[in-house]
Amino acid sequence: MIPGWIGFTVSAALFQCWRTAQQQKLRGQLSVNAAGVVRYLYGVPVGLLIFGLYSAIIGGVLPPLSVAVLALCAIGGFGQILGTNLLIMAFGHRNFAVGTAYSKTEAMQAAIVATVLLGEHLAPLAWIGIAVGVGGVLYLSLAGRGTKPSELLRGVTQPAALCGIGAGFCFGFTGVLIKAANQTMPGADVIYKALLILVITNAMQTLMQGAWLAWKEPAQFRAVFATWRDSAQVGALSAMGSACWFSAFALAPVALVRAVGQVEILFTLAFSRFYLREKATRSDIIGALIVVAGVVLVLWGSR
């Protein structure tokens, strides 16, 4: 039987890929900050619905919310906002492909942070699998863009690369903080706690980025509501994806979840091939096989 965390992780990757594709409809209509607010604002009602249904099924009782839990949710939520903005900033610099590629080191950075902060220990084979998977994603990010591995190494101090590394760290760090919040919150049902943490975190993200948007970009703040038909779909997919991510973090080491979550790029390739009718290149196939090999090694090492 497939462990629950694997099912949650693969589902999260699928929802994330789907959300990204859906969000393309909003390009040109919303700024970076407005696009972020859309994910959280319209995600809160869906997150509440998921939490409410699960709570009704198991007869859950709200646990007391300590300052520590709320702080972890707030910092984790802010980390995700910051990571998203750093990734977008990488697009604005020269050699943005290098910055994007470096952001894909998230799984490795998450593994290191989780080891230090949470004391999560992985088998050597799992570490090798994470490295292989990251290598595959890097290869896919750079293939066809004329960027060689030597350029990747030489460009490590470029602004685009620093933004990419920072984005990868923020995303990895967010996963660690969300898991820490789950461990800190009292209660035995980790899925119930994960869904509650999702609602709290999304609400805080809405307040943080929404307040900034209303202050700095009032026209875009209004656009968030004017585009509600497309925005609501993005928010719903974001909430469903986050519900799966948070549940997976609760059930397994963050590093394993992030490593297996790299299958998202396979869904992206499939979407490109079967929906957009784009032909897969030799580089796409090689990179996909490397990612799959990395995931297999991670799963084999985690047995």
Q: Exposed, middle or buried by CB within 10 Å (0-12, 13-18, 19+), for 100? A: buried
In a domain, 131, yes or no: no
Render pLDDT for 56-110 as a digit per residue (tens, 0 to 9). 999 988 999 999 999 999 999 999 999 888 877 776 665 555 666 677 778 888 8
In a domain, 296, yes or no: no
In a domain, 22, yes or no: yes
Render pLDDT for 154-173 as a digit per residue (tens, 0 to 9). 656 677 778 888 888 998 89
Domain containing 250 equals 4-121+158-254
Helices (H), the chain: 4-23, 32-41, 43-58, 67-91, 96-103, 106-118, 124-142, 149-154, 159-184, 190-216, 218-226, 228-251, 254-260, 264-274, 282-301
In a domain, 209, yes or no: yes
In a domain, 225, yes or no: yes
- Give me the percent of the chain exceeding a pLDDT of 90: 43
Distance CA(296)–CA(292), nearest Å, equals 6
Distance CA(195)–CA(247), nearest Å, equals 7
In a domain, 235, yes or no: yes
Contact 33, 212 (CB under 8 A): yes
Q: What is the pTM of this model?
A: 0.87
If one counts the domains in the chain, the total is: 1
In a domain, 73, yes or no: yes
In a domain, 289, yes or no: no
Distance CA(166)–CA(116), nearest Å, equals 18
